[in-house]
A = this chain, B = another copy of it.
Amino acid sequence: MKKEIRDKNGLTEAEFLRSYKAEDYVRPSVAADMAIFTVQEAEEENYRKLPEKKLCILLIERGVHPYLGTWALPGGFVRPGETTEETAKRELKEETGLDHVYLEQLYTFSDPDRDPRTWVMSCSYMALIDSSGVKPKAGDDAAKAAWFSISYGLTDDHTEYRKNHRYDGMKTIRTMRYELVLEHEDIRLTAVIEKKVTKTEYDTKEEYRILSNDGLAFDHARIIAYGLERLRGKVDYTDIAFHLMPLQFTLTQLQQVYEVILDKPLLKAAFRRKIGHLVIETDSFTENAGHRPSRLYRRKL
């Protein structure tokens, strides 16, 4: 039925499709870039004390131009016949050997100048993994791959109230600056990201800009910031943080992960009440810890 409808040139859909030339239009390349997050433990000298947790991200040192020698998110171009998610999974597997992990599309960045080679959009993904036993491998284009610890903090928050002359209303502009610091051994990468929220009576607009950047390739500082905000935003109303945990974990470990994501301390009793319905207790306990053993839990499915 539908196929028999003819357009103004008298073509059926099948005829139209046969005559369609995709090559007539200039098209962008599309890449999938991945922010792979994990939580790792710092060394602890005191055998009794719990090791501190650090939120980490996997970066690769670029072995090819452009941005040769700088650090970048793992990623690659989407191939014909593939979804962006499949590209992301392929990269993830190459880099970490992991297969079934939490994966979420973040945002598609499409600034035409974001890649000096050509017009490249980046469909970005966030993966959350338990990194115990994962040795990052450098892919084809990469010299090295390594886990970088993350520090991402607000350094400035400023709100401006303006009369909006174009309409008779008001306008408020809230400018927030975040400092992103990534560290691996003696390598230290830094960037300053500005988040600007503009409100008028008619709309609300949110922009992220990279103000400065030392050692990160492309606009990847912005993608990382975006991923961190998504992670923070989802932590307290989903069980997303569980994907950073091993199969069995103590509630204190889980709380540490929440704390390291939210970058603030939480109250123990309230935390346990809040996540109580998301976990199942096992019969196992930690051992040889130098203090009272702790019950191990799993994620409730």
Chain A interface residues toward B at CB < 8 A: 2, 5, 7-8, 11, 13, 16-17, 20, 22, 25-30, 63-70, 77-85, 100-103, 105, 107-108, 110-112, 116-119, 121, 123, 161, 169-172, 199-205, 237, 239, 243, 247, 298-299, 301
Sample of 14 A–B contacts (CB below 8 Å)? A2-B70, A7-B64, A8-B64, A16-B65, A17-B117, A22-B118, A26-B79, A26-B80, A84-B110, A85-B110, A102-B203, A103-B203, A105-B108, A204-B243
Tell me the bound Cα distance from A64 to B65 in angstroms. Answer: 43
Contact of A199 with B29 in the complex, beta carbons under 8 Å: no
Contact of A100 with B203 in the complex, beta carbons under 8 Å: yes
Of all A-B residue pairs in the complex, the 5 with the closest CB atoms, nearest first, are: A22-B118, A16-B65, A27-B27, A84-B110, A172-B301
Contact of A16 with B66 in the complex, beta carbons under 8 Å: yes
Out of B8, B17, B22, B110, name the residue touching A29 (CB < 8 Å): B22
Complex interface: chain B residues within 8 A of A102 (CB): 203-204
Copies in the complex: 2
Complex interface: chain B residues within 8 A of A107 (CB): 105
Out of B108, B200, B301, name the residue touching A200 (CB < 8 Å): B301
Complex interface: chain B residues within 8 A of A118 (CB): 20, 22
Contact of B13 with A112 in the complex, beta carbons under 8 Å: no
Contact of B28 with A301 in the complex, beta carbons under 8 Å: no
